[in-house]
């Protein structure tokens, strides 16, 4: 039996609780096992990004708890939570969000430097990752010199740099053309299969949904369905 890597227990999130409350997520239970490739889907405003952020420790639930690999992150003080994210969670954002003043190599190496990895080891890992995402010829390019698809691949390499247990991706293909999106999804699917990294996507992109082995649908902040499927 696979190990539970994410356990969101009775999680709720209400914005503006004192003025006009918006119940973004309501009493959600989600268990995700190690090595899963999950798509969190739903219409805009259904609460999928909020749930993803809470699972990544970027947002604090109004109620409930999130346990990642046995650690209740909702109880961690801020600095420990940041440190936890650094070592355990990789993020891929919709708008790539790379550091514009750093090259592809430096962007990926940045996380490793925060982890205080020795320089030689760090450089080797960065090159391996950039090679894995097919950007070995762009290591010294800055984000402004890369296409959207290339930037997102750098972001994936950065998310994987610290060998996280989970990669959380918020609409990772939203700003990409079909070819770039396909390319990116294939890379992530390969890493999921070969390195057993758990991927959790918030998306309404059918291309992503088709690749997922499990699809959780959120409607109005509640789980409407949770189904397993054979990826195509």
Partner 1 sequence: MLLQIAWRNIWRNKARSLVVISSIIIGIWAGIFILSFSWGMYKNNINESVYRQLSHIQIHHPTFGEENDSKFMITQTDEKLNQLQSDDRIASISSRVITTGMITSPTTASGVKIYGINPSSEITQIRLDEYVTEGAYFEFGKDNEILIGEKLAKKLKVKYKSKVVLTFTNVESDIVSAAFRVGGIYKSKNISLDEVNVYVQQQHLQELLELKPSESSEIAILVKDETQIDTIKQLSADIVPQGKVEDWKELSPELSMIIESFNLYTYIISGIILLALTFGIINTMLMSVLERIRELGMLMAIGLNKRKIFFMIMLETFYLTLIGAPLGLLAGWLTVTTLANTGINLSMFSEGLASYGFSSIIYPALDQEKYVIIVIMCLITAIVSAIYPSYKALQLNPSEAIRKI
The binding site for partner 1 (CB under 8 A) comprises 49, 53, 56, 58-59, 78-79, 82-83, 85-87, 91, 93, 95, 97, 99-102, 106, 109-111, 113-115, 158, 162
**Which tokens hold the place of 2?**
């696979």
> Between 56 and 149, whose beta carbon lies closer to partner 1?
56
Least separation in angstroms between residue 192's CB and partner 1 is 20
Which of 105, 63, 109, 111 minimizes the C-alpha distance to 89?
Answer: 111
Is the Cβ of residue 158 or residue 211 nearer to partner 1 in the bound state? 158
Distance CA 38, CA 53 (A): 15
Q: Which is nearer to partner 1, 215 or 221 (by Cβ)?
A: 221
The smaller minimum CB distance to partner 1, of residues 15 and 182, is found at 15
Question: Which three-class secondary structure state does DSSP give residue 5?
Answer: strand
What Cα–Cα distance (Å) separates residue 33 from each residue in 2, 87, 118, 214, 221?
Answer: 6, 18, 32, 11, 22
User: Minimum distance between the CB of residue 84 and partner 1, rounded to whole angstroms?
Assistant: 9
Q: Mapping DSSP to helix (H, G, I), strand (E, B) and coil, where does residue 7 land?
A: strand
Residue 53 host element (H or E): helix 48-55
**Which residues, 6+ apart, have CB-to-CB distance to 68 below 8 Å?**
5, 6, 7, 55, 57, 84, 88, 89, 165, 166
Name the minimum Å distance from CB 40 to partner 1.
15
Query: Smaller CB distance to partner 1: residue 3 or 87?
Result: 87
The angle formed by the CA atoms of residues 220, 221 and 223, to the nearest 5 degrees, is: 100
**Least distance between partner 1 and beta carbon 59 (Å):** 4
Minimum distance of partner 1 from residue 91's CB (angstroms): 5
Closest separation in Å from C-beta 85 to partner 1 = 5
Nearer to partner 1, 120 or 179 (CB): 120
């Amino acid at each position: 039996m696979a190990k539970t890597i994410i356990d969101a227990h009775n999680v709720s999130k209400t914005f503006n609780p004192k003025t006009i409350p918006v119940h973004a997520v309501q009493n959600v239970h989600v268990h995700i096992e190690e090595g899963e490739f999950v798509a969190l889907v739903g219409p805009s405003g259904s609460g999928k990004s909020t749930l993803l952020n809470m699972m990544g420790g970027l947002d604090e639930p109004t109620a409930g708890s999130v346990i990642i690999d046995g650690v209740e992150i909702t109880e961690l003080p801020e600095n420990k939570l940041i440190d936890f994210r650094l070592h355990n969670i990789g993020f891929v954002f919709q708008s790539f969000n790379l550091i514009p003043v750093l090259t592809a190599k430096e962007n990926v190496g940045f996380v490793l430097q925060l982890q205080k990895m020795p320089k030689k080891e760090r450089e080797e890992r960065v090159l391996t990752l950039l090679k894995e995402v097919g950007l070995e010829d762009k290591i010294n390019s800055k984000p402004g010199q890369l296409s959207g698809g290339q930037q997102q691949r750098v972001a994936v390499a950065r998310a994987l740099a610290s060998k996280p247990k989970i990669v959380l991706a918020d609409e990772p293909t939203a700003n990409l053309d079909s070819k770039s999106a396909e390319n990116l999804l294939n890379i992530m699917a390969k890493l999921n299969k070969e390195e057993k990294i758990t991927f959790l996507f918030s998306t309404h992109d059918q291309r992503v949904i088709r690749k997922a082995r499990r699809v959780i649908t959120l409607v109005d902040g509640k789980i409407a369905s949770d189904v397993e499927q054979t990826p195509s």
